[in-house]
Chain A
């Protein structure tokens, strides 16, 4: 009895497929990305501590005329993690301790704002809290923004030199 044509072609193809796969014997490589390869780095300005100075002329103290800081600060963030185990980095800042003149006088850091060169870390102002969220980024990312700070100068304070410190934290919980 003649074999139907369609069955003949299917049989030929089946033979082809079986022949093709039966000889596939090869070493298997498994490439894992277990999550050990994460990196997180932050650089604020040029060193461990960067200084911004606001010089307020005595005649203008509390006048409401903003004073721009002496230098802009470059902020660079890096977060890298495997795509199989991604991370999110959070940039926070602690501005809870006000500027102090050492004689009891203080200026809250809420009087300082900044403009940003890049919307990734947008312009804003310190809120005086210990953990103000500025931005968050999923891995992998490299962020660079330059912040130019401004002192509001809208309140009359005791004359003197006021010092303080704000701390940026870059973390991936």
Chain B
């Protein structure tokens, strides 16, 4: 039988979790024109194969250029916030999450950066002034072909945390 005190603690824990989640909400990027991006992997190094390290020899890469990325920040206009780009740790088709690196360059609104599955990287910190935050982003995917078991499906997620409401 669970004591009343323990029940209270568990309910408070759940509420605390909910509060923590509320601070990091996922942003809707469905306003972006391209929702599905199909890329073809290429060997990163084509020449002088004898002199490559094992990692270089097995490195494959793909790039998605100039993606018009639009985040729906309408609910946060006027707030100070941080926006992160997160890559879920589970990537279908990839044997080892650490063998994938996603990096990106931007048009300037968001920060350039890099992230591996299971992690997130800060791309914006400051006041949200527009209901839709838009930037042109070029994504580069680098991975080790030895861990590629089937075509990869990746869903980067944009997350917002309020600093001040």
Query: Out of B10, B14, B38, which one reaches A30, CB within 8 Å?
Result: B38
Q: Is the CB of B148 within 8 A of A12?
A: no
Residues of A near B127 (CB, < 8 A) are none
A134 at the interface (CB under 8 A from B): no
Task: Decide: A82 near B145, CB < 8 A? Known: A26-B158, A37-B60.
Answer: yes
Nearest CB of chain B from residue A120's CB, rounded to whole Å: 14
A30 to B40, CA, bound (A): 8
A25 to B27, CA, bound (A): 7
Q: Is the CB of A30 within 8 A of B58?
A: no
Which A-chain residue is minimally distant from B45 (CB atoms)? A80
A22 to B21, CA, bound (A): 13
Q: Is the CB of B141 within 8 A of A80?
A: no
Pair count A-B, CB < 8 A: 129
Please report which residues of chain B, range 48-105, place their CB below 8 angstroms from some CB of chain A when the two chains form the complex. Answer: 49-50, 57-58, 60, 62, 64, 67, 69, 93
Q: Is the CB of B39 within 8 A of A30?
A: yes
Nearest CB of chain A from residue B94's CB, rounded to whole Å: 9
Nearest CB of chain B from residue A125's CB, rounded to whole Å: 27
Residues of A near B64 (CB, < 8 A) are 29
Q: How large is the interface on B (under 10, 10 to 19, 20 to 34, 35 or more residues)?
A: 35 or more
Nearest CB of chain A from residue B93's CB, rounded to whole Å: 8
Q: Is the CB of A140 within 8 A of B151?
A: no
Task: Decide: A140 near B11, CB < 8 A? Known: A16-B17, A26-B29.
Answer: no
Residues of B near A33 (CB, < 8 A) are 40-41, 60, 145, 148, 151
Residues of A near B18 (CB, < 8 A) are 12, 15-16, 19
Q: Digitize A9-22: 1 where CB-to-B-CB distance is under 8 Å, 0 elsewhere.
A: 10011011001100
Nearest CB of chain A from residue B150's CB, rounded to whole Å: 6
Q: Is the CB of A140 within 8 A of B145?
A: yes
Residues of A near B151 (CB, < 8 A) are 30-33, 84
Which B-chain residue is minimally distant from A36 (CB atoms)? B40
B43 at the interface (CB under 8 A from A): yes
Please report which residues of chain B, range 144-160, place their CB below 8 angstroms from some CB of chain A when the two chains form the complex. Answer: 145-158
Residues of B near A5 (CB, < 8 A) are 2, 7
B129 at the interface (CB under 8 A from A): no
Q: Which of A19, A30, A41 has the most chain B CB atoms inside 10 A of its CB? A: A30
Task: Decide: A82 near B41, CB < 8 A? Known: A9-B14, A16-B21, A26-B155.
Answer: yes
Q: Give 30 CB contacts A-B under 8 Å.
A: A12-B18, A16-B17, A25-B30, A26-B26, A26-B156, A26-B158, A27-B37, A28-B36, A28-B155, A29-B37, A29-B64, A29-B139, A29-B154, A29-B156, A30-B151, A30-B153, A30-B154, A31-B41, A31-B62, A31-B151, A31-B154, A33-B145, A34-B40, A37-B43, A41-B49, A80-B43, A83-B148, A84-B149, A140-B58, A142-B49
B residues with a Cβ closer than 8 A to A are 2, 7, 10-11, 14-15, 17-18, 21, 25-30, 32, 34-43, 46, 49-50, 57-58, 60, 62, 64, 67, 69, 93, 139, 141, 143, 145-158
